[in-house]
Amino acid sequence: MTKIWTDKIIDQWKIDEIKLSHPSTIEAISETEKILDFHFPSDFKELYLKIDGFVEWDWTPNMFSIWPLARIVEEYNRESDNTFIIFADYLINAHHLGFVKGQNGVFKNSGTTPELIADTFSDVMTLINSNADILY
């Protein structure tokens, strides 16, 4: 049996001993979308229905932290620019990964103009686990 992409990602995080949150629910994802006035792509929802980000700002060996929905909303409410939806950070907010409202793909934001780094959320999760140069 071939593992789906989410299982491969989560298996690696378990090997790396990352503290993973319990799964989210479709209701929690929908409520978050309403708050953000943004619809997450299906692959984002697919992963979040298995894990709701990392616990207590835990991070991958290459220092990326995947945020739970509550933190996504909390940080969104703090930002003055609500066009960038952050779901992960590198090195405790050195830069962020997220979505740009009205645009397809996933972007890296280092405080200037967000830069497209992948076409899909699942691609970014694979890039994080493979420590790809484009992330930095």
Q: Find the Cα–Cα–Cα–Cα dihedral 38, 42, 45, 47, rounded to 10°.
A: -140
Average pLDDT, the chain: 95
Give the tens place of pLDDT for each residue, 70-122: 999 999 999 888 999 999 999 988 999 999 999 999 999 988 899 999 999 99
Nearest 5°: the CA angle 48, 76, 126 is 40
pTM comes to 0.94
